[in-house]
Structure 1
Amino acid sequence: MSITATETRSVIVEREIPYPPEKIWRALTQPHLIEDWLMKNDFKPVADHRFSLRADWGSVDCQVLAIEALKSLSYTWAAYGLESIVTWTLTPTSRGTHLRMEQAGFRPDQEKAYQGAKYGWQQFFTNLEQVLARAD
């Protein structure tokens, strides 16, 4: 059995967060807040906007694919040969918001990137929750 190049994996992180979608949406779309939990950036919540995320280790080239205020946001995430798509989905719940992040597009030969993303997104979510706890 051969593995085709189209077989890709996703990293998915889901958490119930005790804040309304509006508050989480701001943290996902306002550059100064994104910087606090993810990386330095020049993000704009506009379809087709190209932006970069910058950290000590390098940068990620991104482009907004789709945006539906307070509900979903997706953008490309390209770095070190990885061509992936990050999609955020916000669903209101009785206790706050169910936040789901999926980074899709890891090829079988990108195990290191896949494992790195699995670890990295857990850290980013922890950072995000800390930002939400203090952000107004």
Structure 2
Amino acid sequence: MNTAVDVRSVVVEREMPFPAEKLWRALTQPHLMEEWLMKSDFSPQVGRGFRFEAQWGALDCEVLEVEPQRSLAYTWNGMGLESVVTWTLTPTAAGTRLRMEQVGFKPEQEQAYRGAMAGWPRFFDGLEQTLARLD
């Protein structure tokens, strides 16, 4: 029997020298998301389904929460993993603190968990590079 205690999450937090409005664009506009995350048909509308696509396969997702320039949450489901990714944007003196939490890794999903632990910091690096190029 699985209890909530068995479910793990991956959290990445980073302060970025960009305003929340700029980060929001990179988190919600498909042509920008494709640069740092994956190809998608994302639209920031609660209840809307969308797909992320990569060489290794696809994820079926649904938008759960949209609070412009503050928070964004969506399901992240694929290859047996059912999880939720939540982004939180907090203005700081130097820019914006961006927090990503992916919740839903079961004990038997060690490979997916390790993949997320390794992958999200790389996605953040790509996001910073995309933001640096944005006007």
Q: C-alpha separation between the residues in 2 aligned to 1:9 and 1:46? A: 27
1:13-44 CA distance string (max 9 Å, x none): 00000000000000000010000100100000
Q: Which runs of 5+ in 1 are unaligned?
A: none
Find the residue that maps to 2:47 and give its secondary structure. Answer: coil
Find the residue that maps to 1:48 and give its secondary structure. Answer: coil
Matches within 5 A, 1:22-61: 22-61=21-60
Q: Which runs of 5+ in 2 are unaligned?
A: none
Aligned partners of 1:5 and 1:107 also within 8 Å? no
What is aligned with 2:2? 4
Runs of 4 or more above 4 Å deviation: none
Amino acid at match of 1:12: V
Tell me how large the CA RMSD over aligned residues is: 0.9
TM-score, length-scaled by structure 1? 0.96
What is aligned with 2:73? 74
1:94-123 CA distance string (max 9 Å, x none): 000000000000001100000000111111
Q: C-alpha separation between the residues in 2 aligned to 1:112 and 1:55? A: 18
Q: C-alpha separation between the residues in 1 aligned to 2:73 and 2:24? A: 13
TM-score, length-scaled by structure 2? 0.97
Q: C-alpha separation between the residues in 1 aligned to 2:81 and 2:56? A: 15
Matches within 5 A, 1:45-124: 45-124=44-123
Q: C-alpha separation between the residues in 2 aligned to 1:49 and 1:91? A: 25
Q: C-alpha separation between the residues in 2 aligned to 1:38 and 1:24? A: 13
Aligned partners of 1:40 and 1:54 also within 8 Å? yes
Amino acid at match of 2:102: Q
Q: C-alpha separation between the residues in 1 aligned to 2:82 and 2:129? A: 29
Structure 1 residue 82, shift from structure 2 partner: 0.3
